[in-house]
Chains A and B, each alone.
Chain A
């Protein structure tokens, strides 16, 4: 059993004074309200008179407010109630999310006709994403109600009607002398492609071109596959079939190709149980840390150039032609060889040659046909990096006279400069964007597209897997679906819906044999959201010039030099910038760095220490030294944040930030670094040689990594308390309780003076498998949306006031240059012996007969004793009326001299339009109220009621909490522990199950399963030493026995 010391950041590892002060307190700041009483606005001194004045005012105000008459409320029923809509009952519609290059099979939850939540579809109807979800899909619901949406068509800044737009543009299209270009990101809708083709045909031969461009480029792998297989496609990767996985700079759990699917498949082979005692082995070779690397059994920390050489080395090893200087890579190569046919090597590089080498490795290992299959290749990435240059050339040469932008923002996310200027040369520029973006600003016309929740569409994410998108709400604004617009311009009659149906009848109905009759086929396709057509794929490996590729890769690695290198990466939250106007995603702490609301330069903590980028000693202010990073003569100034696991001399910067044209200026945080990507053979390479210098400036960063610390070293006489437990597969096989041996003793020693609670009906319990959780954050956003958790803004995050009910604690252990990492979702533990319950003076938080630690907002008077007494630090206090639940508080809406501390950034959740996203079953909390995870009690009550209505027992799986449904890996299992057959009961009784700091006898109802690493090598850990001699003695005794 390892008694390792875990830490959440360098400030904790080094036990910095500022950190210790902050961590010892429940609240980062003193009560601001007190200061307004003790130091009134005018004098700066306190006086009894002021106190009395305030008292008088508040009493009078309360009396006036209370004596007001009850408002007259209207109830307006439907004139004609649709049969399927009953007020108060949610309807679910199968639909398909495909936005910003991300695909997901979803169900849209609507209440009284408005979508309020995105849920993943059940596995049988989600053959690609397999019932999982991502943070982006979860957050996308907010963009429907975004105040920044275009509300009608525009010519320049002027609002016009659709008739005017159709007339003007129709005439232009006819009179144009040059080509029309439709510029989009990857289109995966076969019917949309047909519409585009029809539109092109209507313009005449040679007068139309469709260019596809993806901000996050997969051109390298596409081009490589074209050379190796003759198909410019990406094959299916079967992580569930792989026993040895080697990732080379590919963040396949976070962002690479199809992360939701890969997370699911990967976890299948990582979960352990009594029946399944083996798991895959995952080796990650990477420079800038990703969640995939943090999840790996062995993480080989290398420079970006060494990621390339590692590929060459691996190729040489598996083909029997050499070895690596790095022993770890040699070992990885041997393991791959030992697992021929069930291994998998993936590379995240956008260098064609690197991908050719990766293909050669997989071919040499015999992985094609097993772990990599060509029967259903992906359609989700088709973009070409040359698209923007082609467009600019066309515009400059005059051959292109009109450009239509659909779901694409190349003015922002293309490294090629000069597009905005070139667009001025076109006679017609149209953007179909539904929210403001940089490209729309550069266009003559904005003809807003419907939001996807208002649209009919289809999608084919993988060959032969067809999805349908159906509208879940009527159009909110005067927008029109792009497909309708194009149909109109090509002179076709009828709606896109009709077109879609005809297209399916003509092209897909005949390929299936399940349904007899098109209507049966179509209705089921709409209801299920997905149809699987027989696979018709296959490609054979032809190699290509592997030797040439190997030498080119070596050369590319050499060109990066031995000194400082930078890697530009895609962040889990904002992607290629498409999502950076989403407040939910901006406030989602990055799983790796735990930073919100910014991009920054990731650096090695040791390098920072050596080069004087010291952490602010007053840690409260969260000030980070700003560095100036220069690549190819261009530079960007950003704060430097240390991330353990980054090699010295390696820097990372996230793409997708620094949006200039966004509806809310607060959302344009960070800097745009797309311009710093290097073009190579027409593709954009995300790694480069770099230099960095200190600017001398500092910047505040909303970093949450050491907020809400559960354990503070040396407090209460123990060095540190146990929050996570881990073991190795070898030990686990010998003893399933490995790493968790102390639990029996802890439970035995626990005594309580309080009477035991009784749970006559249900006993809700959650078990989280640390082995499956990869920290991606989908659960966090799902929880926010489900439970009306407010977005508070960067300023409030810096003050440790983020409201997330569920956070993901990320623990490091070992050496800072390449530590082991454990992700631990931390939410209210619903303790049977809850310390918060005893201290509430008004019993606003108490225990239910179903094991829920319940929080009654209307009873809470805001003493915050409960938060102070919570050992898990999961209670959140509403410092402001973040969502304007009380109209009375509206005057605090903007900050002024008298209220310097008030929230200035509300991010829309208080605006009437945006409030439509709120879940009507959950109270919107007001200022001065404590809140926390409720185990989604509204869902539990709903499930119980359904059972009662159907006169039956509640089945396992009827009640699912929001975080659980969103989790792609199935790490979160929830259910009723009184049900002996429930999945959660099995997990609860598993030998791996443990409670966090159980020794204080809180008896949590949330347990965790130990993390198991499939590796032999041991690292140097700082080992826990007990301070108490009697503990030492006990430990010695045990050892003697």
Chain B
């Protein structure tokens, strides 16, 4: 389009100034288009980050040596190790990440050296597909590209990741804007050409209304206005009742960042029933007291917040005795609310599905005060059910699905997602 337009402009040197301006605009917008492509990469980066956090972070850090080596620059290191058996170093890196034994087994020297260089073996990640591995590499090579997570402030949290559609929508908007601009420009051009033609023909120019007073323009504006209004209406309505980012203040300033992050207490130490029950329980106060009989002072609030636990459970820290008569349960404000017609079972996800807590709840171990990380919308649930694989091979329950096992064996399908075993049907969640 831009080329076509410039060709046209050659025929009309008298208007060159205006056209230069529009050309410039076009170029800027095209750049914007390119920038939008970078946004797609950011989505990949974010994906890579979350994969890294859930799979690799327990041993690796991009910048520092841990159980495993620091990973920034890993691509360059492997590429420097050279090609082998027709595969580049980078390809060998992917193979290594997927299952390092494939790389050492093939005899790739760098891999063998790498395997021997550390006392502990790396885990095998054969559930990761090549795209996911690339995403992880993208992240570890650019750990700072995403910027620090925004500080949580007030009930709405901007920038928390949930709907990943944002990136691609930006592209669409830009493209639509570009088209709109082109239309305006073309209309202008046609008008000028008309004028030139009529000037040449020596016709008496009829005074024309300015474009903004014309009926066509008004109609177009109205139409666009209606469309925009409808879009926002639908968008707002579909978001009714969603509380992504909801971060109410709680009666006790309990810090997950301190407990789960710094002290690395397992989520299910406190939320025991997540593994077996429908609900992940909010720990009863006796769980708190397992530690807080000894730990009487916190790093941030000193004794103030811990004293609230003591008051609620009826514990007298001086005499070290309980008076359950004085106990009064803590009234936490519930953050994750599902509508009454939704059945959600933690055990199904945590125990049967082996889904990490963080997948839905975000990096709670980094949250000072917990907020709702995921949108908890049906679209969000369904998307996950479409993409996530069930424990098809490892859980004997699925042995009953003989036909799917056969398809898998015959390579008709390569994975079994939740939706492949009916996980997107209405009555899996609504009954």
Q: How far is the CB of B372 from chain A (nearest CB, A)?
A: 11
Q: How far is the CB of A540 from chain B (nearest CB, A)?
A: 57
Binary B-proximity of A44-67 (CB < 8 A = 1, otherwise 0): 000000000000000000000010
Q: CA separation between A73 and B327, bound complex, in Å?
A: 21
Contact of A760 among B345, B421, B430 (CB under 8 A): B421
Known contacts A88-B279, A857-B341: A75-B395 contact under CB 8 Å: no
Is A79's CB under 8 angstroms from B422's CB? no
Q: Return the chain A residue nearest B422 by Cβ.
A: A849
Binary A-proximity of B294-319 (CB < 8 A = 1, otherwise 0): 00000000000000000011100000
Interface stretch (choices A186-194, A640-648, A934-942): A934-942
Q: How far is the CB of A74 from chain B (nearest CB, A)?
A: 5
Set of chain A residues within 8 Å of B340, measured between Cβ atoms: 885, 923-924
Q: CA separation between A944 and B333, bound complex, in Å?
A: 32
Set of chain B residues within 8 Å of A859, measured between Cβ atoms: 426, 430
Is A760's CB under 8 angstroms from B403's CB? yes
B196 at the interface (CB under 8 A from A): no
Is A81's CB under 8 angstroms from B400's CB? no
Is A81's CB under 8 angstroms from B284's CB? yes
CB under 8 Å from chain B, chain A span 941-982: 941, 944-945, 947-949, 951-954, 976, 978-979
Contact of A856 among B346, B396, B426 (CB under 8 A): B426
Contact of A77 among B282, B397, B426, B427 (CB under 8 A): B282
A850 at the interface (CB under 8 A from B): yes
Is B333's CB under 8 angstroms from A72's CB? yes
Set of chain A residues within 8 Å of B284, measured between Cβ atoms: 77-81
Interface stretch (choices B158-166, B240-248, B361-369): B240-248
Is A74's CB under 8 angstroms from B332's CB? yes
Q: How far is the CB of A225 from chain B (nearest CB, A)?
A: 51
Contact of A951 among B279, B324, B346, B395 (CB under 8 A): B395
Q: Return the chain A residue nearest B390 by Cβ.
A: A948
Q: How far is the CB of A26 from chain B (nearest CB, A)?
A: 23
B157 at the interface (CB under 8 A from A): no
Known contacts A87-B279, A923-B431: A66-B399 contact under CB 8 Å: no
A761 at the interface (CB under 8 A from B): yes
Interface stretch (choices B45-53, B132-140, B144-152, B347-355): B347-355
A861 at the interface (CB under 8 A from B): no
Q: CA separation between A949 and B278, bound complex, in Å?
A: 12
B: number of interface residues (CB 8 Å)? 59
Q: CA separation between A451 and B64, bound complex, in Å?
A: 66
Is A852's CB under 8 angstroms from B427's CB? yes
Q: CA separation between A188 and B240, bound complex, in Å?
A: 58
Known contacts A75-B282, A948-B351, A948-B395: A70-B241 contact under CB 8 Å: yes
Q: How far is the CB of A855 from chain B (nearest CB, A)?
A: 8
Known contacts A76-B330, A77-B283: A760-B404 contact under CB 8 Å: yes
Is A923's CB under 8 angstroms from B427's CB? no
Is A80's CB under 8 angstroms from B431's CB? no
Q: CA separation between A713 and B251, bound complex, in Å?
A: 68
Contact of A87 among B277, B333, B352, B401 (CB under 8 A): B277
Contact of B285 among A80, A852, A949 (CB under 8 A): A80
Known contacts A934-B427, A944-B397: A949-B282 contact under CB 8 Å: no
B358 at the interface (CB under 8 A from A): no
Set of chain A residues within 8 Å of B328, measured between Cβ atoms: 79
CB under 8 Å from chain B, chain A span 78-132: 78-81, 86-89
Is A945's CB under 8 angstroms from B337's CB? no
Is A80's CB under 8 angstroms from B333's CB? no
Set of chain B residues within 8 Å of A73, measured between Cβ atoms: 333-334, 337
Set of chain B residues within 8 Å of A70, measured between Cβ atoms: 241, 243, 337
A921 at the interface (CB under 8 A from B): yes
A386 at the interface (CB under 8 A from B): no
Known contacts A72-B333, A951-B395, A953-B397: A81-B343 contact under CB 8 Å: no
Set of chain B residues within 8 Å of A75, measured between Cβ atoms: 282, 331-334
Known contacts A89-B273, A948-B395, A954-B397: A79-B347 contact under CB 8 Å: no
Is B277's CB under 8 angstroms from A89's CB? yes
A488 at the interface (CB under 8 A from B): no
A740 at the interface (CB under 8 A from B): no
Set of chain B residues within 8 Å of A857, measured between Cβ atoms: 341, 430
B235 at the interface (CB under 8 A from A): no
Is B334's CB under 8 angstroms from A88's CB? no
Q: Return the chain A residue nearest B314 by Cβ.
A: A79
Q: Return the chain B residue nearest A936 by Cβ.
A: B431
Q: CA separation between A848 and B425, bound complex, in Å?
A: 6
Known contacts A66-B237, A77-B284, A79-B324: A938-B332 contact under CB 8 Å: no
Contact of B330 among A77, A848, A976 (CB under 8 A): A77
Is A80's CB under 8 angstroms from B332's CB? no
Binary B-proximity of A836-873 (CB < 8 A = 1, otherwise 0): 00000000101011101011111100000000000000
A758 at the interface (CB under 8 A from B): yes
B379 at the interface (CB under 8 A from A): no
Is A945's CB under 8 angstroms from B347's CB? yes
Known contacts A948-B351, A951-B397: A88-B426 contact under CB 8 Å: no
Binary A-proximity of B391-431 (CB < 8 A = 1, otherwise 0): 00001111111111000000000000000011001111011
Set of chain A residues within 8 Å of B397, measured between Cβ atoms: 944, 947-948, 951-954
A730 at the interface (CB under 8 A from B): no
Set of chain B residues within 8 Å of A941, measured between Cβ atoms: 343, 345, 428, 431
Q: Return the chain A residue nearest B428 by Cβ.
A: A941
Q: CA separation between A801 and B397, bound complex, in Å?
A: 41
Is A86's CB under 8 angstroms from B403's CB? no
Binary A-proximity of B273-294 (CB < 8 A = 1, otherwise 0): 1001111011111110000000
Q: CA separation between A889 and B282, bound complex, in Å?
A: 33
Contact of B425 among A86, A87, A849, A858 (CB under 8 A): A849
B13 at the interface (CB under 8 A from A): no
Is B400's CB under 8 angstroms from A88's CB? no
B107 at the interface (CB under 8 A from A): no
Q: Return the chain B residue nearest A63 by Cβ.
A: B237
Is B341's CB under 8 angstroms from A77's CB? no
Q: CA separation between A449 and B127, bound complex, in Å?
A: 62
Q: How far is the CB of A980 from chain B (nearest CB, A)?
A: 11
Is B278's CB under 8 angstroms from A79's CB? no
Set of chain B residues within 8 Å of A850, measured between Cβ atoms: 422
Contact of B278 among A66, A88, A858, A951 (CB under 8 A): A88
Q: How far is the CB of A925 from chain B (nearest CB, A)?
A: 9
Set of chain B residues within 8 Å of A947, measured between Cβ atoms: 397
Q: How far is the CB of A1013 from chain B (nearest CB, A)?
A: 39
Contact of B329 among A77, A855, A952 (CB under 8 A): A77
A1000 at the interface (CB under 8 A from B): no
A922 at the interface (CB under 8 A from B): yes
Set of chain A residues within 8 Å of B282, measured between Cβ atoms: 75, 77
Q: CA separation between A856 and B332, bound complex, in Å?
A: 32
Q: How far is the CB of A33 from chain B (nearest CB, A)?
A: 22
Q: CA separation between A72 and B331, bound complex, in Å?
A: 11
Q: How far is the CB of B272 from chain A (nearest CB, A)?
A: 8
Which interface residue of A81, A844, A852, A854 has the most chain B CB atoms within 10 A? A81
Q: How far is the CB of A360 from chain B (nearest CB, A)?
A: 57
Q: CA separation between A446 and B284, bound complex, in Å?
A: 39
Q: CA separation between A512 and B324, bound complex, in Å?
A: 41
Q: CA separation between A954 and B426, bound complex, in Å?
A: 22
Q: CA separation between A78 and B270, bound complex, in Å?
A: 13
Set of chain B residues within 8 Å of A1015, measured between Cβ atoms: none
A762 at the interface (CB under 8 A from B): yes
B105 at the interface (CB under 8 A from A): no
Q: CA separation between A952 and B391, bound complex, in Å?
A: 12
Contacts from A to B (Cβ < 8 Å): 66, 70, 72-81, 86-89, 758, 760-762, 844, 846, 848-850, 852, 854-859, 885, 921-924, 934, 937-938, 941, 944-945, 947-949, 951-954, 976, 978-979
Extra 7 A-B pairs, beta carbons < 8 Å, given A66-B240, A859-B426, A953-B400: A77-B285, A78-B285, A86-B277, A850-B422, A856-B430, A952-B397, A953-B396
8 A-B pairs (CB sep. < 8 Å)? A758-B403, A848-B422, A855-B426, A858-B341, A923-B340, A934-B427, A938-B343, A948-B352
